[in-house]
Amino acid sequence: MKKNFLAVAVAIALSPVAASAQTFSGLSKAWTYNHSLSGFAGQTAEIVAFDNITNSLWVAGLAGVDILNATNGSFIGHINTTSFGSINSVAIHNGVAAFAIEAPTKTNAGMVQFYDTATRTLSAGNNNVVVGALPDMLTFTPNGSKLLVANEGTPSTYGTRIGTTLPATFNTPAVDPVGSVSILDMNTRTVVATPTFQGATQTGSNIRTNTGMNFEPEYIAVSKDGSKAFVSLQEANAMGVLNLNTNTTEKVIGLGLKNFNTVGNEIDPKTGGTISFNTYAAKGLYMPDGMASYESGGRTLIVMANEGDFREDDADRLTASASNIGASGDLIGLRVSNADSSAGNLITAGARSFSIRDTDGNMVFDSGSTLDREAAARGIYDDGRSRDKGVEPEGVELMVIGGKTFAFVGLERTTKGAVAIFDITTPENASFVDMIVTDGDLAPEGLKGFEMGGKHYLAIANETSNTTSLYALAPVPEPESYAMLLAGLGLLGFTTRRKAK
């Protein structure tokens, strides 16, 4: 019996069910910093980057960058960028911090500035580079040889709607810079190419070209080998693909529609009353914001947070209630696109999910209704958002912990700060693991995972609460470790009992 008990213990430890039952033994908040304490007017918490040379976090938000000690969250310093414009993003590689700064007149050319993370001053050499209008996000290629800048190119004033018929059409804005990606060679810190997506080959479906604006890059993910860049064209419901060997545009891929009338894709389209999720005759434009890429099974895959944002002034959804085009029952308040919807064909913004796609845009996995459901189960679902994008997934960060790949998905519209965690090691069978619910924080905008001192951490910049929080991530040991532990305990007990005889 003793031998059988040990065999059973080892079998349980090696069981996939036992191993996946709990992936993290603890999710603990290490610290929180409130950026109002830095004393710089207008400073917010939007995008966070980690510098492994100084173990510091750089948090960008409108007025500049607050620099924090990653170990304890203490304030180190502030870099004020208001004399140049509003800062939108920060990225760090090998001791160099790159800032994306939009011009005071946002339709003018923006800039990238480079700072030395050790001295926190402008770095030596070329440290100020002109890029496209409204640089909204930037990222280094994995080896740091290039810096890519998503120039959103948003108009200050959009064109007015033409007529009242559906689908809606719009006049061309008076000033509308072409959206582009600036590609910088980091050896010379100069722009070597500025590809756009106008006139590119189009594949997929439901590319939105009826919004009175051109393609506006929102976010960039880069393949592990640095050969391809994948660009979210959010308002267009599309993904652009760049060849980084030739620095040219390959194609624009339409991301299609999500069917909320399918089991697994349920929504709660009504505000007030009981929160309940059901299938409905409506569809969602994926319209991703944050993206990340990883390798699995010899494939490059792109993870997308399907936020769903129309053009900045909301004109392409106008009053936007489905009742305006004949909807009834629970769907009367659903916010829909007047540019895409028609009676009996309700199309709304966002998929209330995150997706995994291949490089051709084919769907590998979608989280369905999981994000909304898990928020509701924790009592943090904002019912006021039911008619409009639900929990509104905003950003995504990937980390490899204990040999597994995890996706951390920030939820912008919950009543407390929330980040969902999924195991995406096997992409087709990605599974929900847990949700970080963080008191005192609200609306996570930027996420950054990193290792420090042999441990894994997730930094979360929260836009509405104006806070940055750091979470320590403690993974459960691999099944083999459990087996060794239980086997050792079993053998120890067996030996002790023999001695007792």
- As given in the structure block, the two tokens for residue 150 are 């998503």
- As given in the structure block, the two tokens for residue 29 are 């908040």
The gap between the terminal CA atoms of the chain, to the nearest Å, is 16
- As given in the structure block, the two tokens for residue 93 are 């590689």
Are the beta carbons of 227 and 143 closer than 8 angstroms? no
H-helix or E-strand spanning residue 431: strand 431-438
- As given in the structure block, the two tokens for residue 117 are 């993370």
- As given in the structure block, the two tokens for residue 303 are 């993870």
Rg value, the chain, Cα: 24
CA-to-CA dists, residue 203 to 222, 233, 361, 363, 487, angstroms: 20, 14, 9, 14, 55
pLDDT (tens, 9 = 90+) of the chain, 501 residues, equals 333 433 333 333 333 332 333 467 678 999 999 999 989 999 999 999 999 999 999 999 999 999 999 999 999 999 999 999 999 999 999 999 999 999 999 999 999 999 999 999 999 999 999 999 999 999 999 999 999 999 999 999 999 888 888 788 889 999 999 999 999 999 999 999 999 999 999 999 999 998 888 999 999 999 999 999 999 999 999 999 999 999 999 999 999 999 999 999 999 999 988 999 999 999 999 999 999 999 999 999 999 999 999 988 888 886 668 998 899 999 999 999 988 999 999 999 999 999 999 999 999 999 999 999 999 999 999 999 999 999 999 999 999 998 999 999 999 999 999 999 999 999 999 999 999 999 999 999 999 999 999 999 999 999 999 999 999 997 655 554 444 434 444 433 333 333 343
User: What class does CATH assign to 132-500?
Assistant: mainly beta
Single-letter residue type at 267: I
d(CA 143, CA 74): 30
Domain ranges for the chain: 132-500
H-helix or E-strand spanning residue 488: helix 479-500
Are the beta carbons of 116 and 54 closer than 8 angstroms? no
Residue 485 phi/psi, 5-degree rounding, is: -65, -50
